[in-house]
Amino acid sequence: MQRFEGQVALITGASLGIGAGIALRLAQEGADIVVNYRSHREDAEQVATKIEALGRQALVWQADVADRDAVAAMFSGAVERFGRLDIVVANAGMSIRESVVEAKWENVRRVVEVNQFGMFHTCQFAAQQMVKQSLRGRSRGKILIISSVLAEVAPQRSSAYNMAKAAINHFGETLAAELAPHHVNVNIVNPGWIDTPGERHYATEEEIRAGAKRLPWGRLGAVEDVAAAAAFLVSDEADYITGATLRVDGGLVLGRT
């Protein structure tokens, strides 16, 4: 199925994990991809090589999403290369786990700058481009925000991340309302505990396996689980869906067993 034939997608944080999974899924279905990364250049280039092996074009672009000027330059470069942007996935994120009492302000600010302000920059530039574009089918573009179930539940030692994710979900609904008259869809995905390289920063393999057994679905989510949900929400099949939040968590929010 080639749902994205002839379309162009920009994905932030696309060198690893969920972002890479979404980039490859959209490329498999026909999209050309702007692969954004901040520091993992080799990984981003490997993603681009896989995209090109699928017969699609890939543009690798380094930008820290917290740097507004860098994000602006990336969008200008992407439009110069491809002419338009049909899909933008605001995925880039990071976490520094500290208790509120012990948190260093520079760490709190960095987490918010990446997860909240970086998402704002990405979505604003996407919206500004899409409202200028002609309709492709029934839409001028699709914006997807990758948030987290931590916007809904509040584990300890994650206050800045939890706060930022809750904020971007509310922002996403606001943006969806503003862009509906322009026929630009905006939706949100809340992944649960997903098996990504970043999880190894906080837990051992043994701890991850034990934790997975406590989830209602009995396993961690795979990157492919989130990519499949993302692909649906940015497809024409989701044309009448905007301002929605889709939880992809194997029942995590319902409660661990």
- Catalytic one among 37, 161, 202, 240? 161
Backbone phi, psi, residue 167, to 5°: -65, -40
Cα-atom radius of gyration of the chain, to the nearest Å? Answer: 17
Give residue 245's region: left, alpha or beta (phi > 0; psi -120 to 50): beta
Nearest to 87 by CA among 238, 241, 246, 235: 235
Structure tokens at 86: 């049909």
Structure tokens at 242: 């905007």
Q: Is 240 a catalytic residue?
A: no
Buried b (16+ CB within 10 A) or exposed e, 197-225: eebeeeeeeeeeeeebeebebeebbebeb
190 in Cβ contact with 149 (< 8 Å): yes
Structure tokens at 9: 């997608």
Helix (H) or strand (E) holding 128: helix 118-130
| Active-site annotation, residues | 161
